[in-house]
Amino acid sequence: MNPGEPAPTDEGSTPPAFNPEAFGKYYLIDRIAVGGMAEIFRAKSFGHGGFENLVVIKRILSHLSVNDQFVRMFMDEAKVSAVLQAANIVRVYDFGKMRENYFIAMECVEGKDVKLLLRKLAERRKLLPREFAVYIAMEAAKGLDYAHKRTAINGQPLNIVHRDVSPSNILVSYTGEVKVADFGIVKAANCAENTDAGMLKGKFEYMSPEQAHGADLDRRSDIFALGIVLHEMLTGRRLFKTDSEVKTLERVKRVDVEPPSTINPGVPARLDKIVMRALTREPDDRYQDAREMHADLLEFLYPSSPDSTQQLLSHFMSELFADEMEMERSRTESGSALARQMHDSVADTELEPEFAGGTRTPTHAAPLLPPKPPSRVPIILAISLVGVLAVALAGVIGWNATQPETVKTVTQVTQVEPTTGAISLKITPAAATVEMDGAPVGTGAAVVLRDIAPGDHLVKVSAPGFVPHEEKVTVEAGDKVRLQVVLQAARVAPTLSPNTPAQPPGKPVPASDPTAAPGGPWVVGVFSSSPSGAEVFVDGKLVGKTPVSWDDGAAGSRYGVEYRLSGFDSVKFTASLPDGGGNVAFDRNLTEKAVGKGKVNINVSQNHWGDIYVDGKKIGTTPKFGLELPAGRYSVRVLNKDAGLDQTEMLTITAGQTQTLVFAPK
């Protein structure tokens, strides 16, 4: 999925075939989304020396080009996005108008947005693992913090507010990167289009209370919206969505929210606290900037690191969207091949001007200059030159009227037979090096070798601490050979004392087996846990923290294993190692230690209601029945200014008991 408002009409079906087309200096190779306002394409651009670049083109529909307000919004999106050059924000490279369509050229993110990610998991009746939900929200917060604090060249704050933070505008790449997209309704100091007082812009179910009221917004509105997204990632349910927009807005205004753990008991209390702080009704009670929220999420993620979590998320995405990845790459490869043919066949044709849809220069005019590189002049300056260009263009049109009609030549592009093949490797472990015919060609867990000449090739996969794997692969033109390579752990046979037999009776060591050692084949046990960072004890001996590999076991043997992590119940199990050797994985989910809890019912008499605050944090509105709290002492406040109600009571929760508090307005 790539940035932009439109979404595919049916994400579960195969997109219709698309014939590549020239679009100025770009070649549209695949249509990936279409909506009522814009179309989204994958596109290629070509340069000297075989340079190619894959981008995304967001093109507004031609009938909207006459809508001045919409065009100003589109320009604002381009202007704001162009100054946001951060790893967690989709970058914008170019802006212009081609024929009747304004367009933005931006970074191509190969992956899916959070909306499609959650939809795919819902189809499988699964929840997004909480570590991934935390990581995605944490990285999105980093991108938003950068945007919120961006300044102009003179140091003046741009006061950027996204106003449309939602699952469809947070992208997760297949490599585990997270990027915020689509600043289409952004509020910023340098925007030409201003929102009238009381006008609502954005998706109702992802608005902050102040946004739903049509009030002025600042960065804290985006933090509330990110809290909604995190809540939905943890629970798999829509937080504010109802069957009507009016009801949805009312729920948003009331901030009718329960902690995620009420739906997903696997969410720990400290993560509940982060989500509920982001979702506080009053902006002053929320995180005051996205960096604060990022810091709390990072602390929750510990001891896992962002880098290790990104790698795990990459594997998760690759497994979840394996079919989609293959289809997308196939369409991109075929579309790129046709675009390359089109580019080579019309290499000397002049590109259309970016900011005009007028008549092309006649073929008998002066010699053509090389294509002009993308302008680095700020967009606002380029727009100010439109009037000057229009005068010059009028002169060209008048001159063309006196010239004989030019003959247009149409170049037919045909599909050519492929002359090369490809090899796709999936490798375990991830830190592997791939060689082909003696030359290094790639590293990592997934390596694709393209443009390989037909014939036999020797492929070698190696990694430190593992036995190299070599295989002769026959490649045919137009085919992709897929290899699944699992390296076996290598180890040097231990030095034996004079009194130690060379090998146990009945277990000979074949000289031809490079992985064999005294005692039989070697086995590598891979211990992992969720969350990671748990200490691993094998027969009472500490061997490391998850994830960790262990190769001291004997094939066919059984070992007692225990995982220990502070704040979580320990997990004990028996690890049975296979007789034939090899790799075997042991993955376990850790459960937070249970704390004695009690319940309380909170209500207001005389048919009134009030907002409930527990220890200063709002947790909902009355009536509230069966509110579960860990044993301890709490301050409970109920507030309804309109009813003259503002009362505070001290409450002691006893494990296993239910109490009732009733407040009465004066």
User: Which of the residues are catalytic?
Assistant: 164
Contact 190, 151 (CB under 8 A): no
CA angle 489, 493, 494 (to 5 degrees): 125
Helix (H) or strand (E) holding 245: helix 245-254
Beta strands 480-486 and 421-428 are: parallel
Q: Report how far residue 101's alpha carbon sits from residue 66's, in angstroms, rounded to the nearest whole number.
A: 10
Taking alpha carbons only, the member of 282, 310, 315, 314 closest to residue 138 is 310
Contact 427, 447 (CB under 8 A): yes
Q: Report how far residue 602's alpha carbon sits from residue 606's, in angstroms, rounded to the nearest whole number.
A: 14
For 116, phi then psi, to 5°, come to -70, -35
For 85, phi then psi, to 5°, come to -115, 75
Contact 315, 445 (CB under 8 A): yes
Work out the number of other CB atoms within 10 angstroms of the CB of residue 632: 15
Contact 135, 178 (CB under 8 A): yes
Residue 434 one-letter amino acid: V
Q: Report how far residue 362's alpha carbon sits from residue 9's, in angstroms, rounded to the nearest whole number.
A: 41
- Residue position matching structure tokens 């008048």: 398
Question: What contacts 498, CB < 8 A, 6 or more positions away?
Answer: none
Question: What contacts 486, CB < 8 A, 6 or more positions away?
Answer: 427, 428, 583
Q: Report how far residue 569's alpha carbon sits from residue 562's, in angstroms, rounded to the nearest whole number.
A: 11
Question: Per residue in 584-612, is it b (16+ CB within 10 Å) or e — as a string?
Answer: eebebebebeeeeebebebbbeeebbbbb
- Residue position matching structure tokens 């003259």: 644
**Cα–Cα separations (whole angstroms), residue 362 to 370, 397, 399, 406:** 16, 11, 10, 7
- Copy the structure tokens of residue 451: 């443009």
Long-range interactions of 258-266: CB distance < 8 A, separation 24+: 258/620, 259/619, 260/231, 260/234, 260/235, 263/235, 263/236, 263/237, 264/127, 264/234, 264/235, 264/236, 266/127, 266/130
Work out the number of other CB atoms within 10 angstroms of the CB of residue 456: 9
Contact 339, 20 (CB under 8 A): yes
- Residue position matching structure tokens 């925007």: 191
- Copy the structure tokens of residue 607: 């048919």
Q: Report how far residue 417's alpha carbon sits from residue 422's, in angstroms, rounded to the nearest whole number.
A: 15
Coil/strand/helix, residue 192: coil
What's the CA dihedral at 96, 100, 106, 108 to 10 degrees? -150
Helix (H) or strand (E) holding 356: strand 355-356
